[in-house]
């Protein structure tokens, strides 16, 4: 099972990475905290202190178009906030 789907690169998460040493990831909905911790440690070679997870349900969206109303739903996902040990860091921009 591919646990880490993608990192969250927003202004808020970048600020938390610089100040609080926390990094965000979109993860598989079935993954638990222990699996997320192992995946981050293997992939980035860092020591993880803490993992917090949040589940987001999809939201209903509707658009008004020329042909009528289009209704849909955004995807549901799970987000993990990973706190690293003191002195460790993850650089998401090194592969660009």
**Structural domains of the chain, ranges and CATH numbers in brackets:** 4-84 (3.30.70.330)
* pLDDT value at residue 93: 79
Q: How far is CA 8 from CA 32, 70, 78, in A?
A: 18, 29, 12
CA separation for the pair 80, 74 (Å, rounded): 19
pTM for this one? 0.86
* pLDDT value at residue 10: 95
Q: What's the pLDDT band for 1 if we cut at 50, 70, 90? A: low
CA separation for the pair 15, 80 (Å, rounded): 16
4-29, pLDDT tens digit by residue?
999 999 999 999 999 999 999 999 99
24-79, pLDDT tens digit by residue?
999 999 999 999 999 999 999 999 999 999 999 999 999 999 999 999 999 999 99
Placement of tokens 């509707």 in the chain: 62
């Amino acid at each position: 099972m591919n646990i880490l789907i993608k990192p969250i690169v927003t202004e808020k998460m970048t600020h938390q990475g610089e100040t609080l040493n926390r990094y965000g990831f979109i993860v598989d909905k079935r993954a638990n905290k222990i699996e997320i911790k192992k995946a981050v440690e293997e992939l980035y070679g860092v020591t993880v202190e803490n993992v917090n997870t949040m589940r987001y349900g999809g939201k209903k969206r509707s658009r008004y178009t020329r042909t009528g109303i289009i209704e849909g739903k955004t995807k549901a996902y799970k987000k993990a906030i990973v706190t690293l040990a003191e002195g460790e860091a993850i650089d998401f921009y090194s592969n660009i």
